[in-house]
A = this chain, B = another copy of it.
Amino acid sequence: MANNKREDILKAALTLFAERKYDGTTVPMIAERAQVGAGTIYRYFESKEVLVNELFQECVKSLSDRLSSNLLNPEYDLRHQFHLIFRRLTQFADERIDALLFLDSHHNAYYLNEQSHRVFSEMLELFRQLLENGKNDGTIGALQSDAMIAIVWGAFVHVFKTIRVGVLEQSAELLAGVEESCWNAIKRH
């Protein structure tokens, strides 16, 4: 736990960015929620913009690490691999919903630097690899992988946004249904 304050700040910022976006979050808001002085934030991050980028990259890494462990074990068939990846995504959404929502807001985010955009695309490589394999063995449909990724990611995140506002209620059954839907969206028919 190298540095406690730094973690507190990142955690506070993440919650706020997920709820109010970058520009709707002020540095004093972050400081208050992190229970540190406003000046302290600047001992750990050069600026608000540096903070948001480090946080973004940390979130990408967090998701990436979860997804990439033992993922593409060739012993499993594609559907099962999809199930595993979906379960990991779900766990991530459960444990780090703010991180998921924050990651999803990256499109067109003028405050993210090139590195942030790059690590995000790199993370998607995992999905792409899975899909490519599936196309090779005839399990996955013919649509471009990037479109499929957009479909599954967009659907998945939007389901969790809808849960968050209370319109959907989370349950194992719901998530199983969503997984099946997403699989149907990409599998070869």
Contact = CB atoms under 8 A, between A and B. Distances in A.
A105 to B, nearest CB: 8
A146 B167 contact: yes
Interface stretch (A58-66, A79-87, A176-184): A176-184
Contacts of A158: 150-151, 153-155, 157-158
> Is chain A's interface secondary structure helix, strand, loop, or mixed overall?
helix
Interface of A: 18-24, 101, 107-108, 110, 121, 141-144, 146-159, 161-162, 164-165, 167-168, 174, 177-178, 180-182, 184-187, 189
This chain's copy number in the assembly: 4
Nearest to A189: B184
B184 A168 contact: no
B144 A168 contact: yes
Nearest to A169: B144
B162 A108 contact: no
Contact of A181 (B18, B143, B153, B178): B143
Nearest to A158: B154
Instruction: Identify which of A101, A149, A154, A182 gathers the most chain B CB atoms within 10 Å of its CB.
Output: A154
A20 B109 CA distance: 7
B185 A143 contact: no
A20 B23 contact: yes
A21 B19 contact: no
A156 B159 contact: no
Contacts of A161: 107-108, 150, 154
A6 to B, nearest CB: 20
Contact of A147 (B146, B153, B159, B184): B159
A178 B143 contact: yes
A107 B164 contact: yes
Contacts of A110: 19-20, 24
